[in-house]
Amino acid sequence: MRLSTKGRYAVMAMVDLAMHSNGKPVALAEIADRQEISQSYLEQLFGKLRKGGLVASVRGPGGGYLLARVPGDTRVADIVMAVDEPLAATRCTPGSPQGCHSHKGRCMTHDLWEELGNQIYLYLSSVSLADVCEKRVLGTSRLYYRDDRAQAVAAAQ
């Protein structure tokens, strides 16, 4: 499963907003420049984020966007879901009793992929915007990567 650019860009933009607002509105043009994302694409995403209650807009000179809540109260899953990004790993319609096969049955691996989607959602729900901004996201995956790399280097010598 792969998260599309919609979800990834929304999270990147929200992290940028959290890190650069300091209580003042941030223009989308600034976020677009820093994150190298099209401003028109950000406008679409921020429209959805505003409807989802995650950002507030300020019009006029010096206007832009502010976070609607403190970063510690905004979950990455909230951001992804606000921009209509599905977190399902199955081909089936989430919550539907019908499967992805032509006879409407479920494939043999349906439960595996459904549970993967659930775990992804649970993980993204456990990470706040503040966690990302303050670099508190790396867990044991970094240790495994380092250990695997160190073992590979040692084996090559």
pLDDT tens-digit series, residues 8-52: 999 999 999 999 998 899 999 999 999 999 999 999 999 999 999
The full set of domains in the chain, from first to last, is: 5-85 (1.10.10.10)
Of 65, 59, 61, residue with least CA distance to 24: 65
pLDDT of residue 88: 64
In contact, 17 and 68? CB cutoff 8 Å: no
Please say if the pLDDT value at position 63 is more than 80: yes
pLDDT of residue 75: 97
Please say if the pLDDT value at position 154 is more than 60: no
pLDDT of residue 126: 94
Amino acid at 61: P
Confidence of residue 65 (pLDDT cuts 50, 70, 90): very high
